[in-house]
Structure 1
């Protein structure tokens, strides 16, 4: 069997493919083929090192099937080696038939299953951590890193590959891997421009983003770190809290908000407000583009919040009425020319505690900044980019904390 890697993989990743550094870390734009290249490399290495095995990791186990598992099946087909592998969902694993080599899949929420990972044949050499930015706690990575130990056959090596979009320069990934030279670390930044498999329609998405949404393009197009210049909310932490325990705090108030969108995402957030401790807990989310109000209502009910008071964007009374027709307790957010700034100022008095499953919300709050004027200085208006979940939270929290008679007019 002969495979043309140049034809299968394309250009832009020769150094990434060949490095033997313990840590192979690639940040990049969307469409930069970093995940597809990593998948091809893992399958290729099973043939190159017939006693090796692989492990794929994400923050949450329920995200594995539609990401890394799917990418690896694609890579097997791309390399034309379908007949050599069995891919099963229960348990989720990929097995090379002739050797018994395996690629295993785990979420960091699996706890002991991560720290006690082992293989029955050969050695565990390759670890791929996809969407590594979602791992907010460096200690979680360290525990995984320490579990990849033991001797390997002569000529073999162990490697942890991390791939992600660099949503914020405040991430632990930047100082850990990018800021200080280290012989054990290989780093790379890639963009959509190295992906020769994109068509004109794909490329136009990035070109329009560069023109119309430069802040988003910086991350999703150029693969640069998101820089929070003029960040609106700074008292933010990520914490894996027990929702039921927080709900049991005396005086806790629930708050549910929805920001409408279509091309932009609809953003639903579920919060709890502790006035005594001055904390806002964000514990659930749903972001989705291109969906009708009927689908929104069905999703909110499916998530278990159909009977909750839902505060929505006051600029869309028709959409609110349609949600009410679907049985939701939807109502308008507070109105008035100063309502946005007053709501922001109110929330700034609280610490915002984000549950790690609220991945999209965390990306937004890390990039939610004051818009800049023509002079390049911050204004008193928030930038529309990265505002959807932030608006949703503001609708919910301000309606809960202020009396119904309050007006910004």
Structure 2
């Protein structure tokens, strides 16, 4: 008897259990070379086909001419490793694998031939399982959604797998989408690397692969981290490369001694944004733990949002009350009316922050901190802005000392909140 768990590294054991229990719809697996994520997904697909009588699978790559030597062979490996060769029949034209006891199929398609994708039909069941291999090669999440809209019909339960090696730059659409996926309840995100394989099954990779990886580690650690660990190392143009994602407990938040509050005005499409953070000057550490965002909200509505955010208890079980903390805001002409409403109707202590020639200085101050700790669950929009901010490039794609405006509403709110500290520094 062959156990599927014996063919999977421990890093994927809980993922395998989740897949078979249908704990999620989307499985977002990314990592470096040799992380066995593709092998794992191919095993999952075979197991789902034989355990779900109505499940067929569609395996998609960006280009159809890459299917035969990659995902097609990968599925055949999974069938063989599970000892199920006698239960499947493989064909190349059309490229498909049939589960003989029921007639269920695993078909392979390239996204460069949309007619073949739209024409996928099954005599038994529906396309319950879809695998996007080398996801970063697709033309964006809209293209992926379009394919899913064509395939996800005729059933209620779906398993969608995504696998890729992350591009270097955080600006890549697939890296940005991954940030959003970590916040979605229907998605399981897991990163893996060859080190997860070496710990338990180095023979799966072989000595030449491991030697090559370790050589690159010695001569170019940044390249090794990207290529073999699947880390997003950036292109060297990040404005703020001192950002750390960390879960901040409510107990820790309640015990911050120096809290700071900032507002960036907005209506639409630019949002109104309120951010709360804490400052630890001895450690030169900024911690961002709360954010609120809104579009097309009046000053009365955003003022109430701010009051609600500042109304909390100091200890568990105590009555919440409004904390009369100072709030710093963007000093704009249209912001003066909003400041007046905040002060008159809500009693909020709010002041306009100094702006003249302060933008570059405040960015340099943030970049010079030892750590900017952001809770990505409590502050997903802020975390995304901080790690995505890059310098401009010139026509030759050379970095220049200029920070582009836009997509920085949380950053601006933080800059206003910390402006007094920046000036003291």
TM-score (norm 2): 0.52
Cα distance in 2 between the residues matched to 1:8 and 1:132: 24
Q: Find out whether 1:185 has 2:187 as its counterpart.
A: yes
- Cα pair 1:115 1:143 within 8 Å, conserved: no
1:382-397 equivalent positions in 2, closer than 5 A: none
Cα shift at 1:152: 2.7
Cα shift at 1:151: 4.3
1:275-294 equivalent positions in 2, closer than 5 A: none
1:123-150 deviations in whole A, cap 9, x for unaligned? Answer: 2111011100111322211101212333
1:4-403 equivalent positions in 2, closer than 5 A: 4-19=3-18, 20=22, 21-152=24-155, 157-167=157-167, 168-179=169-180, 181-195=183-197, 196=201, 197-230=204-237, 349=395
Structure 1 residue matching 2:10: 3-state secondary structure? coil
Aligned residues: 235
- Cα pair 2:45 2:129 within 8 Å, conserved: yes
- Cα pair 1:166 1:223 within 8 Å, conserved: yes
- C-alpha RMSD over aligned residues: 2.3
Cα shift at 1:164: 0.4
Which consecutive unaligned segments of at least 5 residues does structure 2 have? 239-392, 402-425
Q: Which residue of 1 aligns with 2:298?
A: none
Q: Which residue of 2 aligns with 1:336?
A: none
Cα distance in 2 between the residues matched to 1:62 and 1:194: 31
Cα shift at 1:47: 1.3
Cα 1:11–1:171 shift into 2, 3 Å: same
Structure 2 residue matching 1:46: 3-state secondary structure? helix
Structure 1 residue matching 2:112: 3-state secondary structure? helix
Cα distance in 2 between the residues matched to 1:44 and 1:28: 23
Which consecutive unaligned segments of at least 5 residues does structure 1 have? 232-346, 351-367, 371-376, 378-409
Cα shift at 1:203: 1.8
- Cα pair 1:56 1:128 within 8 Å, conserved: yes
Cα shift at 1:229: 1.5
Cα shift at 1:369: 7.8
Cα shift at 1:42: 0.7
Cα distance in 1 between the residues matched to 2:37 and 2:54: 25
- Cα pair 1:127 1:160 within 8 Å, conserved: yes
- Point out the structure with max Rg over C-alpha: 2
Larger deviation, residues 167-176 vs 129-138: 167-176
- Cα pair 2:26 2:187 within 8 Å, conserved: yes
- Cα pair 1:177 1:185 within 8 Å, conserved: no
Q: Which residue of 1 aligns with 2:243?
A: none
TM-score (norm 1): 0.54
